[in-house]
Structure 1
Amino acid sequence: MKFPKSLLNVFLILSMLFIIGCGSSCRDVVVKAPPLPLSAPMVELGDVFYAFDSSVLDMVSRSQLDENVQWMMENPNATIIIEGHCDERGTYEYNIALGEKRAENVKNYMVNAGVDPLRMQTVSYGEERPFDPGHDETAWAKNRRVHFVVQ
């Protein structure tokens, strides 16, 4: 089917006017995101660090866990994931098991301090998610940890 040239011209002109009209009105619309509160609270539970090949909580770790427990008590609707991490030494399977042991020990500590176990999940990443990618004792010490993720 062939349209007369004049009809096509009219259609073309109307289309252009529509596009120009939309373009000018759309440019005038500014969408602003709601402002963030000036003092938005940062939710960060402190990590717990370990000695080489250990899942034992030392006094520094217990002190940090006590602060984390206090935060959990003050925020009764919060749930967390407790991530167990290891340094790169050891086999994959060994590090997964050690990371799980670290995460479970932390969860048990927090449960014994009064936190509902249903508010916490554990996961082990072994050596798969290093905090520090280095290959020395300084990096390894940072990677032997339990990390908390607030959901």
Structure 2
Amino acid sequence: MKRALFISVFLTTLMLMAIGCSSKKSGLNGSDIDGMSESDLNYQREARYGDGSVPTAEGEGMFRDVRFNYDSAQISGEGLQNIEYNAQLLQDNPNIRIQLEGHCDERGTAEYNMALGQERAKSVQDVLLSYGVASNRIQTISYGEEVPLDPALNEQAFAKNRRVHFSAFQ
């Protein structure tokens, strides 16, 4: 009887410890997303996208985002046109380097979305390389669902959030 009680308490403790542990979220380049507070993520989102509208994110930026269908890393015809446009900008501006930021909507687990965001960034990188952009000018990172362009919970917002964003630096 005491042995069964001990085993029961021991297994319950192990389960609680396992539930309390969380996996660490990080981008491909090792950036620690778990270390960012909600206010840090919001600040980062506001600094990049202003009020979150697509025209602010793309209209004032140099590069065009590449959008994706739900649960997919396959590049659409419009996405290929945007990548071609961005590749031409990179060829015209050889001192600019880019970070491809893979993003997802919030559906799916955090781990799945981190992997999908990375797959999206990698698929865009592959096309850029095929257009002759040097690999040393491209970095990739996945933000998964952590930095949405539009925080609303509807299909229109989800569609905005499924993207690869081009972030330029020198």
TM-score normalised over the length of structure 2: 0.64
Q: In the TM superposition, what whole-angstrom CA distance separates every residue of 1:67-122 from its partner, at most 9, and x where no partner exists? A: 00000000011101000000000000000000000000000100011000100000
Is the counterpart of residue 89 in structure 1 residue 96 in structure 2? no
User: 1:39-82, CA deviations, whole angstroms, 9 ceiling, x for partnerless residues?
Assistant: xxx65200000000000001000001000000000001110100
Runs of 4 or more consecutive aligned structure 1 residues displaced over 4 Å after TM superposition:
none
Distance 1:130 1:58 in 2: 21
3-state SS of the aligned residue for 2:64?
Answer: coil
Structure 1 distance, partners of 2:106, 2:122, is 20
Runs of at least 5 residues in structure 2 that lack an aligned partner in the other structure: 1-59
- Partners of 1:43 and 1:53 in 2: how far apart? 26
What is the rounded CA distance, in whole Å, between the counterparts of 1:123 and 1:43 in structure 2?
19
Give the distance between the partners of 1:117 and 1:87, measured in 2 at CA: 28
**TM-score, length basis structure 1:** 0.72
Structure 2 counterpart of 1:134: 152
Q: SS at the partner of 1:87?
A: coil
Which of the two has higher C-alpha Rg? 1
Question: Sequence identity of aligned pairs in percent?
Answer: 46
Query: Aligned to 1:78, which of 96, 99, 107?
Result: 96
Task: Identify unmatched segments of 5+ residues in structure 1.
Answer: 1-41
Matches within 5 A, 1:86-125: 86-125=104-143
Q: CA RMSD in A?
A: 0.8
Q: Does 2:161 align with 1:143?
A: yes
Q: Distance in 2 between matches of 1:73 and 1:43?
A: 17
